[in-house]
Amino acid sequence: MNKLYDATLLAVADGQLTIALILGETEQQLILPCAPGGGDWQSRQIGQIGIAEQYANDEGHWRFIPYLEQSLRRCPDLDCHYGDELQLGWRCEQLGEFSAPAHIVPGAEGAFIPDETRPLTLPVPPEFFELCNQFNMSAEWVLRGFIADAAELRNYVAEPRADGYSSNGSDERMLANDYLERAYAALRRGGRP
């Protein structure tokens, strides 16, 4: 998927997005195709800075995603690898220069939650795989969803999670916590919170 960072949306009309990019000391305007009628909702974002992103497998159509933090800018000189993960360099008024995992765009004031997950190896019986298959889900995805619901992890645009965990919703969080209370309340350390 192609991404053009620090683009300014100039216009949305006739199935096209017009953006401006600063290349060196020169501003360049680009006209990009968007899906028919797909750019109309973006007209309210004219003048904002963000990412122009080409949809994967969509005949070359583009969309514009504004930065939540409008002072956010890419700093390619700060790009690096942290272990096996690519980190992109950024700067904003609140944080100055910093890096964040390449798969997220920092949120409000450059905020994001770093990936602090720890690996866990768990033998899983075939019945659980069969159950997950009934819902067209992988066992890993179902377990990740339950973990996010039970721990009440939310992946907000204002503070995206680098680990990708995100609750399935308020009812799901309540039900996951009800399950834990029913199954393990007697084992809780220090009593109820």
Q: Which residue has the higher pLDDT, 110 or 193?
A: 110
Q: What's residue 193's pLDDT?
A: 54
**Whether 51 contacts 74, CB under 8 Å:** no
Position 37 pLDDT exceeds 90: no
Q: How far apart are CA 39 and CA 64, in angstroms?
A: 8
Shortest CA distance to 83 belongs to which of 121, 112, 117?
Answer: 117
For the segment 43-82, what is each residue's pLDDT rounded down to a tens digit? 788 999 999 998 876 678 898 999 999 999 999 999 999 8
Q: Which residue has the higher pLDDT, 42 or 117?
A: 117
Position 118 pLDDT exceeds 70: yes
Task: Show the CA angle centred on residue 42, arms to residues 46 and 161, nearest 5°.
Answer: 100
Domain range summary for the chain, segments of one domain joined by +: 3-66, 73-106, 126-187
Shortest CA distance to 4 belongs to which of 13, 112, 18?
Answer: 18
For the segment 75-112, what is each residue's pLDDT rounded down to a tens digit? 999 999 988 899 999 999 999 999 999 999 999 999 99
Q: Which residue has the higher pLDDT, 106 or 14?
A: 106
Radius of gyration in angstroms for the set of CA atoms belonging to the chain, rounded to a whole number:
21
Q: What is the mean pLDDT of residues 112-141?
A: 96
Percent of the chain with pLDDT over 90: 73
Q: How far apart are CA 60 and CA 1, in angstroms?
A: 10
CA pseudo-torsion sign 167, 171, 176, 178: positive
191 confidence band (pLDDT: 50, 70, 90): low
